[in-house]
Amino acid sequence: MRPDMLEALFPPGVVAVSADAAELWDAALHPGEVSTIAHAAASRQREFAVGRACARAALARLGLSAGPIPRTALRAPAWPDGATGSITHCRGYCAAAVARCETVRALGIDAERTGRVTWAILERVTTEREREVLGTMLPGDAPQDWPTLVWCAKESVLKCLAGATDRMPGPREISIELARERFTARLLSARLSGVGVAELRGRVVRHGSLVLAGVALPTANGLAAAGAVT
Ligand SMILES: CC(C)(COP(=O)(O)OP(=O)(O)OC[C@H]1O[C@@H](n2cnc3c(N)ncnc32)[C@H](O)[C@@H]1OP(=O)(O)O)[C@@H](O)C(=O)NCCC(=O)NCCS
């Protein structure tokens, strides 16, 4: 996927980096992160290392210092002061997106390969209303493999909301409405009232078997800087 397709998932102010370059894909664990992931399998250590290498490259592009990125109690990345972000990996792909806290309160990125999320799986994480809407969508309303697109969009929103609330919401606390490469996530649960918005707007893109979704919760500063671009 081209780098501009990745960054187009987000509003201005968000920097996203995928592990296309060999130096990121082959990145070693940062010495300050070794103890965090020491007991995991080698493959898991590797994806952890690559995700953080992408995050450090993105933070550097924001002009922020990039040391070790440990984990919070929720197992989310513990971002350096002044920054927020999100990491994702799936087979053969890894990316991170970061932003300054002045412009973005929280953000989420998710990558999935098509073909793994079936309608049966989707049924467990969607509301009845979401399934009704999906069932009425015509080919052309959205790219194919809607289950993957909806799953991916949901995961990105849940990561973003986890960053904003310090709690991972359940998948039915939000509903996703897809409109081609854009989506709206409605916050259904009273437990999300503290977020202060009724919905979030995100983007989803498919490139071959790779689906990527991104969403950001801008601050007032971020909205002003973006000129209300969505
Ligand atoms: C944690 C979760 C978001 C991981 O998603 P995934 O698609 O399996 O894997 P991804 O590679 O995209 O994301 C993993 C990364 O998410 C980040 N992450 C983990 N927990 C997180 C949290 N609570 N908040 C924000 N980010 C989190 C981490 O950076 C992790 O990578 P790392 O451990 O190497 O740092 C997912 O397992 C989850 O709990 N989802 C929400 C609940 C749900 O029911 N989802 C179903 C589909 S809607």
Tokens encoding 124: 């467990």
pLDDT band, residue 230 (cuts 50/70/90) = very low
Looking at residue 87, its pLDDT comes to 98
Looking at residue 61, its pLDDT comes to 95
Looking at residue 42, its pLDDT comes to 94
Residue 218 dihedral angles phi and psi, to the nearest 5°: -75, 155
Mutate to test the pocket of ligand 1, among 155, 172, 175, 176 (most ligand atoms within 8 A of CB): 155
pLDDT band, residue 141 (cuts 50/70/90) = low
Residue 42 dihedral angles phi and psi, to the nearest 5°: -60, -40
Pocket of ligand 1 (CB under 6 A): 47-48, 51, 74-77, 86-89, 110-111, 125, 151, 154-155, 158-159, 162-163, 168, 171
How many whole angstroms from 190 Cα to the centroid of ligand 1?
22
**Nearest ligand 1 atom to alpha carbon 90:** 11
Q: What is the mean pLDDT of residues 139-162?
A: 88
What is the overall mean pLDDT for the chain?
Answer: 92
Pick 54 or 221 by higher pLDDT.
54
For residue range 111-131, what is the model confidence (pLDDT) as tens digits? 999 999 988 898 899 999 888
Q: Nearest C-alpha to atom 17 of ligand 1 is from which residue? A: 76
Q: Nearest C-alpha to atom 18 of ligand 1 is from which residue? A: 76
- Tell me the domains of the chain and their CATH numbers: 3-226 (3.90.470.20)
How many whole angstroms from 128 Cα to the centroid of ligand 1?
24
Looking at residue 118, its pLDDT comes to 86
DSSP alpha helix (H) spans, the chain? 3-7, 22-25, 34-37, 42-61, 119-125, 128-136, 146-165, 220-226
pLDDT band, residue 138 (cuts 50/70/90) = low
For residue range 10-49, what is the model confidence (pLDDT) as tens digits? 999 999 999 987 788 999 999 999 999 999 999 999 999 9
How many whole angstroms from 138 Cα to the centroid of ligand 1?
30
* Contacting residues for 106 by C-beta, under 8 A, at least 6 apart: 84, 160, 161, 162, 163, 164, 216, 217
How many whole angstroms from 111 Cα to the centroid of ligand 1?
10
For residue range 74-117, what is the model confidence (pLDDT) as tens digits? 999 999 999 999 999 999 999 999 999 999 999 999 999 999 99
Q: How far is the C-alpha of 28 from the C-alpha of 9, rounded, in Å?
A: 28
pLDDT at 139 over 80: no
Mutate to test the pocket of ligand 1, among 123, 159, 176 (most ligand atoms within 8 A of CB): 159
Looking at residue 182, its pLDDT comes to 95
Mutate to test the pocket of ligand 1, among 43, 54, 69, 88 (most ligand atoms within 8 A of CB): 88
How many whole angstroms from 168 Cα to the centroid of ligand 1?
9
Q: Nearest C-alpha to atom 28 of ligand 1 is from which residue? A: 76
